[in-house]
Amino acid sequence: MTDTHTHIYMPDSFPDGGVAAVERAISAGVCRMVFPCVDLSSIPDMRTLHSRFPDNTRLAIGLHPTELTPDWREILRQMHDMLPGDFAAIGEVGIDLYHDDSLRAEQCLAFAEQLLWASEFHLPVIIHCRNGLDDTLRIIAEHPNPLPPLIFHSFTGSKEDVERIRTVCDPWFGINGVVTFKNAPALREALPVIGLDHILLETDAPWLAPVPVRGTLNESSRIPHICQCIAETLALPMEQVEEITDRAAAHLFSFSK
């Protein structure tokens, strides 16, 4: 299984830099992990963990929409200078107006610029979208064709949202522990509309631990709970969900087959 979105490299949550968490994930059958970047400070921590497990892990680079500081243009310049380097994806980037919409215009500019990097370096984009679907879809629609491969990470929307997104692009959808929550029937109803070949597994660790460990510190070893819930919802064998989602993740993030 592949955890396509995990921040287990963050020392605040994993004081050993995530080494034990990666080992627990591999023991649980989660042998591949993608580390999304939040800001410049993520990069040394991600690289340290990646260097311990180079075949099991991939790195993304990008400025998270809630992490824009007054010098965001300079930060983007520094990140662009690091490309392509050791990065397999751009992310996580996008729009987040949930707690604060005061930098909406800047978030839009930063997202549009980082989408262009993906086309320039032929990399997929991990999109973080929270209370920002209108802007996200407008910016994607304004991007010159062809679009890079897109991943709507932490997708928690409805089948109507899937259909609306597909009027603009044809992304993969990162499904995490929210799918196991009692109060997420609309997300489960969206899974057959998304289709197994457009689903990616993710934890978004250290957040969003799935049932039956909801509320604990999340880590990549919890992916089997998410895989099992998707399999039950789609009435498919868990092995098939594992195989199809692994294949998509390997293709997108350049894991060896």
Token pair of 252, please?
């997108």
CB of 218 to Zn ion, least distance (A): 11
132 contact partners, CB below 8 Å, separation of at least 6: 65, 94, 95, 96, 97, 107
CB of 13 to Zn ion, least distance (A): 12
Q: Which span sits near Zn ion by CB under 5 A: 35-43, 73-81, 97-105, 179-187?
A: 35-43
Identity of the residue, 154 or 193, whose beta carbon is nearer to Zn ion in the bound complex = 154
Q: Which span sits near Zn ion by CB under 5 A: 36-44, 71-79, 177-185, 244-252?
A: 36-44
* CB atoms closer than 10 angstroms to residue 205: 29
Token pair of 27, please?
């023991």
CA gap 191, 159 in Å, rounded? 8
Identity of the residue, 145 or 173, whose beta carbon is nearer to Zn ion in the bound complex = 173
CB of 124 to Zn ion, least distance (A): 15
CB of 84 to Zn ion, least distance (A): 21
CB of 237 to Zn ion, least distance (A): 29
Q: Which span sits near Zn ion by CB under 5 A: 33-41, 69-77, 159-167, 224-232?
A: 33-41
The single-letter code of the amino acid at 108 is C
CA atoms within 13 A on the CB side of 170: 5
Bridge partners, 201 (sequence order): 175
CA gap 90, 94 in Å, rounded? 11
Angle at 60 between CA 32 and CA 103, to 5 degrees: 135
CB of 90 to Zn ion, least distance (A): 13
Q: Which span sits near Zn ion by CB under 5 A: 28-36, 94-102, 115-123, 227-235?
A: 28-36
Q: Which span sits near Zn ion by CB under 5 A: 14-22, 32-40, 50-58, 161-169?
A: 32-40
Count of residues in contact with Zn ion, rule CB under 5 A: 1
Identity of the residue, 131 or 240, whose beta carbon is nearer to Zn ion in the bound complex = 131
Identity of the residue, 91 or 149, whose beta carbon is nearer to Zn ion in the bound complex = 91
CB of 205 to Zn ion, least distance (A): 9
| Chain residues 162-221 in contact with Zn ion, contact rule CB under 5 A | none
Identity of the residue, 94 or 148, whose beta carbon is nearer to Zn ion in the bound complex = 94
Q: For residue 218, which of 1, 7, 4 has the smallest C-alpha distance?
A: 7
Identity of the residue, 8 or 230, whose beta carbon is nearer to Zn ion in the bound complex = 8
Angle between helices 104-121 and 133-142 (to 10 degrees): 40
Residue 188 Cα to chain centre, angstroms = 19
CA gap 32, 255 in Å, rounded? 8
CA gap 215, 4 in Å, rounded? 21
Identity of the residue, 31 or 60, whose beta carbon is nearer to Zn ion in the bound complex = 60
Q: Interface with Zn ion by CB under 5 A: which residues?
A: 36
